[in-house]
Amino acid sequence: MALLHARNLIAFPGGDNASDTLIGSVHLNRTALELWNFTLYSNGTLSNGSKCILTFAPHAPAYLFPNGSFTNDTSCYSPVNPIGTRAGIAIGYAVVFGVALVLTLVNLNKHGSLHLPAEKRFYPIGRRWQWYWASWACATAMVSLLTCVDVDRYYLPELPLVLTNFFWYLMQMGAMAIVWEAVRHWGSWMERQFIDPDPFALRDDDWRSKIEFWLPLVFYLFLWLNFFMVIPRNWGDIEHQRYPEQIINEAMPTATDTRFKVAAFFLVVCWLITVFSLRHSIKHYCPRNRGIINRIVGFIRYMPARFMLVVPLAAVVPAYQALIAWEFPYSPLNLEGDQAAIYAGGYTPTLLILFIQVLFGFFRPNEDLELQHQRRVRGQELDREMGIVHKPSWWRRMNGEYIPANESMRERLDRNVREINGNRAPAAPADAPATNPVELGPVSPTRPTAKQYTGRSGTRRREREAEIAAGMLFPDASERSAAAMARRHAELMMDGPPSRAPFGGGSTGSTNQPPQQIRSMLDV
């Protein structure tokens, strides 16, 4: 590695004459080298401050022109070394993170699907954020790990060392956000189950709701403060690890400056907010406990199993960032850092958080489907309390209550009319087609209909309209009703004295009948 190449100035070796030098078994123009201020270093590089080339075989230049340019030269910042320990471990981790990404997308499709209408109080994106952040963590981890290949292969450290740490810090942010969103959404899911049986069980303007509104804002505030402390900065000094003096004077002070220390503190605040959110949800949506000891026991008892694993793992993320902000030998910013510490403290906690989330995601059902199941269970319990016994599904088919899926509205009304008439088909007129539709059919001109009411009584008008509608929908019943009313009227008119003629009219009806015989005073 570059640190092993001691960067010391050495004189140009002798050549065939005073203007010639032999470097890497190649004769170069010494006069041109001195004219363009090239210096030979003990690590096998030739540099003038603006250009650096390798001088050992097979990368040595073939010829030097008087203008200071070389033929077939190789830059010092080229991947000429074989893959080392850091790159070999990184490739293995990258493959595992790729598997985690695929499984994360499967869980996103499972838990992000909607099976109930979206509610304003519980947005669908709320359940998806933890999987979005998991995808972010997988993607940034894979970029960081694959870039480690060039960190090992570059002869002198340059851009790959910066890129691998740039995406590593973004992965750390994603790991904290995964745990936060998992905890926050679990509280939202508990609230949803709490108010589903009774929407008015919880208020929308109490202290509980205000805390749940402000906590996400405070968390992301400190998470983005961590981002602004780490990412937008001058990364050039991290590349200056080409010899021991440069590491001590430039790289180490930059990697352990105040900004990295403050960034680690912001992640600690994010972790504390996550724990507070978990405690808040358990307090309001789980059975309450009295006393300090009972509250601690209840906090552990009602905490989901996955949070017992991912919350402590999330604490490792800020702890490791704080460690490397003070101890440069364990930092991934160090080109020759401790590989065991880098992968155990830098990548393994995030990887474990991802797989724990994925594993529990496969076992947990979709929340909409689970809510539907809970509603069915509550409905069955209410039916049992009220003594309602639902018939099995085959009962309706056996008793003719099965409704075909493709049945039209006309056929449904026709079936309802047959049920009212004793499951008898309506009698068809002589000149009507065989189908004889019931509703919206033509009204026969000989069919008696009720006269339209022209009076002022609204009640009577509505009764007459209902009578007209009934006569059109159920003509047989209307005809039978009209005939029954006619018979009743005839029966009422059979007994008693004849009706009087109008004033001024004829009296033939009374003179043509025999005189009334009075038998008692009751007949008068």
One-character DSSP codes across 169-194: HHHHHHHHHHHHHHHHHHHHHHHHHH
Q: Is residue 344 part of a domain?
A: yes
Q: Is residue 493 part of a domain?
A: no
Q: For residue 54, give every residue at least 6 positions away whose Cβ sits within 8 Å of its Cβ, in sequence order, or none.
A: 44, 45, 46, 60, 73, 74, 75, 76, 78, 80, 155
Give me the mean pLDDT over the 104-117 stretch. 92
Ramachandran quadrant class, 37 (left: phi over 0; alpha: psi -120 to 50; beta: rest): left
Among the ranges given (128-142, 145-159, 381-395), the one the predictor scored with the smallest mean pLDDT: 381-395
Are 171 and 64 found together in one domain? no
52 phi and psi angles, rounded to 5 deg: -135, 130
Are 12 and 64 found together in one domain? yes
pTM for the whole structure = 0.72
Give 205's pLDDT tier (boundaries 50, 70, 90): confident
User: For the stretch 410-420, what's the b/e string if a residue is b when 16 or more beta carbons lie within 10 angstroms of its beta carbon?
Assistant: eeeebeebeee
For residue 356, is pLDDT > 70? yes
- DSSP, res 429: P
**Domain extent at residue 101:** 85-364
Residue of 286 and 5 predicted with greater confidence: 286
Give me the mean pLDDT over the 13-23 stretch. 80
pLDDT at 503: 45
Give me the mean pLDDT over the 337-352 stretch. 93
Cα separation, 151 vs 335, whole angstroms: 8
Among the ranges given (212-216, 274-278, 439-443, 515-519), the one the predictor scored with the smallest mean pLDDT: 439-443
Are 34 and 109 found together in one domain? no
Are 137 and 242 found together in one domain? yes
Q: Is residue 19 part of a domain?
A: yes
Burial (CB < 10 A; 0-12, 13-18, 19+), residue 516, is exposed
Q: Is residue 387 part of a domain?
A: no
For residue 435, is pLDDT > 50? no
Q: Among residues 315, 339, 364, which one ends one of the domains?
A: 364
Share of the chain above pLDDT 90, in %: 38
Are 293 and 173 found together in one domain? yes
How many Cβ atoms from other residues are within 10 Å of residue 96's Cβ? 17
Give me the mean pLDDT over the 183-207 stretch. 86
Residue of 344 and 197 predicted with greater confidence: 344
Q: Among residues 364, 391, 425, which one ends one of the domains?
A: 364
Give me the mean pLDDT over the 260-267 stretch. 95
Q: Is residue 150 part of a domain?
A: yes
457-465 CB contacts, 8 Å cutoff, 24+ apart: none
Are 94 and 64 found together in one domain? no
Are 246 and 148 found together in one domain? yes
Share of the chain above pLDDT 70, in %: 79
Q: Is residue 339 part of a domain?
A: yes
Instruction: Answer yes or no: are the C-beta atoms of 230 and 171 closer than 8 Å.
Output: no
pLDDT at 256: 92
Query: How many folded domains does the chain comprise?
Result: 2
The string of pLDDT tens digits covering residues 20-79 is: 788 877 888 888 888 888 888 888 888 887 888 888 888 888 888 888 888 888 888 888
Are 65 and 97 found together in one domain? no
Q: Among residues 48, 71, 94, which one ends one of the domains?
A: 71
Are 66 and 167 found together in one domain? no
Terminal-residue alpha carbon distance, the chain? 139
For residue 421, is pLDDT > 50? yes
pLDDT at 414: 80
Residue of 433 and 401 predicted with greater confidence: 401
Q: Is residue 181 part of a domain?
A: yes
The string of pLDDT tens digits covering residues 437-448 is: 444 444 444 444
Are 50 and 147 found together in one domain? no
Q: C-alpha 369: how far from its chain's center?
A: 15
Are 173 and 294 found together in one domain? yes
Give me the mean pLDDT over the 297-323 stretch. 90
Give me the mean pLDDT over the 395-406 stretch. 66
Which tokens sit at 418? 């047959």
Residue of 408 and 261 predicted with greater confidence: 261
For residue 325, is pLDDT > 90? yes
pLDDT at 296: 78
Q: Is residue 445 part of a domain?
A: no
Are 67 and 133 found together in one domain? no
pLDDT at 308: 93
The string of pLDDT tens digits covering residues 471-515 is: 766 666 556 666 766 776 676 666 555 545 444 444 444 455 555
* Mean pLDDT for all residues in the chain: 81
Give me the mean pLDDT over the 320-339 stretch. 93
